[in-house]
Amino acid sequence: MKINELLNVKYPLIQGGMANIATGEFAASVSNAGALGLIGAGGMTTEILKENIQKCKELTSQPFGVNLMMLNPYVDEMAQLVIDEGIKVVTTGAGNPSKYMKAWKEAGIIVMPVVPSVALAKRLERSGADAVIVEGTEAGGHIGELTTMALVPQVVEAVSIPVIAAGGIASGKQLLAAYALGASGVQVGTCLLASEECPVHENYKNAIVKAKDTDTTVTGRIGGTPVRIIKNRMAKEYIKREKEGASMEELETYTLGSLRKAVLEGDIQSGSLMAGQVAGLVKEIKPVKAIIEDLFHDCEAEKEKLINFLGE
Ligand code: TUI
């Protein structure tokens, strides 16, 4: 079963959580385009999340969800807020949401955690997850170790619930490949950053459009919180100091507020421009609806090409 049937949306595509970026307004534009929009609660307080939920409810009659980032200091409160607000779908990232599963399932919420391994996928299936989002290390932002290509089929083999592939998907070919790996749908982030509706600064969008294949790097590998961003002065200094054994406190001076700097002020040299390895494939800024429609249209065309190729 494709994931759109479970979620009651047109396309089997969900938007990545994108902390500090995915506002209620942005999530509504993704939902109005026929995919599942998500409010990224990562950089929010509980009150701000509540405001964004209200805004999203005003702007769309389509299903939408909330992404809860497990490292957020307010996550306990937020886990209750999504129940109180009648949110239908919750995705989680950057940690294990086991302790909230029972309450969410009792509230009838569709829960789809992001998992970086087979072990966590199996554990969360046992806890009642409705699907798992299997995110490869190609993705932007906070990442796991394994690639989408290697991990998706291993999770597909290990669980019976639908698997959503994430990390490295921004074109029809990659969408088709995700289906070939056994996924029931996809999650995308980077290609949606370069949308007209995305609330990030114009400089951030242009940096994605300009990026080539090798233009992302990973900060925080040594400290245990790897984050994929576009290479810039901040990334270079961070990685240099990290290798020299700098303390967490010093490293935090580079990252603290740096995503906001990039998102709001367009500071592309000292800001943190989270993006996936597929940034090199993103060539223009388009409306969200066009990005999603083109992905599925191109996937159909690629399918025909593949059938011809394999039939030769
Ligand atoms: O969460 C993400 N991507 C994110 S979160 C974020 S905000 C942030 N910024 C700076 C530092 C840290 C966070 C930006 N991008 N993607 C989903 C994802 N989840 N990737 C990896 C994981 C993950 C990792 C470990 C999920 C579960 C997990 O469990 C470990 C355990 O406790 O078993």
pLDDT tens, residue by residue, 249-308: 888 887 767 777 777 888 888 889 999 999 999 999 999 999 999 999 999 999 999 999
The C-alpha atoms of residue 231 and residue 272 are separated, in whole angstroms, by: 9
Pair 101, 124: CB distance under 8 Å: yes
Residue 25: closest CA among 196, 262, 187: 196
Q: Is the CB of 109 under 6 A from ligand 1?
A: no
Q: Render pLDDT for 185-214 as a digit per residue (tens, 0 to 9).
A: 999 999 999 999 999 999 999 999 999 999
Q: Render pLDDT for 69-100 as a digit per residue (tens, 0 to 9).
A: 999 999 999 999 999 999 999 999 999 999 99
pLDDT at res. 101: 97
Kindly report the pTM of this predicted structure. Answer: 0.96
Q: Is the CB of 120 under 6 A from ligand 1?
A: yes
Neighbours of 114 (CB within 10 A): 28
pLDDT at res. 139: 98
Neighbours of 191 (CB within 10 A): 25
Instruction: Please tell me the least confidently modeled range out of 11-20, 168-177, 241-250.
Output: 241-250
The more confident residue out of 55 and 251 is 55
What tokens were used for 88?
A: 């239908």
Q: Render pLDDT for 160-169 as a digit per residue (tens, 0 to 9).
A: 999 999 999 9
The C-alpha atoms of residue 172 and residue 69 are separated, in whole angstroms, by: 28
- Return the amino acid letter for 14: I
Q: Render pLDDT for 112-158 as a digit per residue (tens, 0 to 9).
A: 999 999 999 999 999 999 999 999 999 999 999 999 999 999 999 99
Instruction: Please tell me the least confidently modeled range out of 34-48, 99-113, 166-180, 258-272.
Output: 258-272
φ, ψ of residue 60 in degrees (nearest 5):
-145, 145
Neighbours of 262 (CB within 10 A): 28
- Return the amino acid letter for 111: V
DSSP letter for 144, please. -
Sole residue written with tokens 């796991």: 144
The C-alpha atoms of residue 118 and residue 101 are separated, in whole angstroms, by: 18
Q: Is the CB of 98 under 6 A from ligand 1?
A: no
Q: Is the CB of 141 under 6 A from ligand 1?
A: yes
The average pLDDT across 237-255 equals 87
Neighbours of 84 (CB within 10 A): 10
pLDDT at res. 208: 97
Q: Is the CB of 95 under 6 A from ligand 1?
A: yes
What's the CA-to-centroid distance between 194 and ligand 1, angstroms?
22
pLDDT at res. 302: 98
The C-alpha atoms of residue 257 and residue 274 are separated, in whole angstroms, by: 13
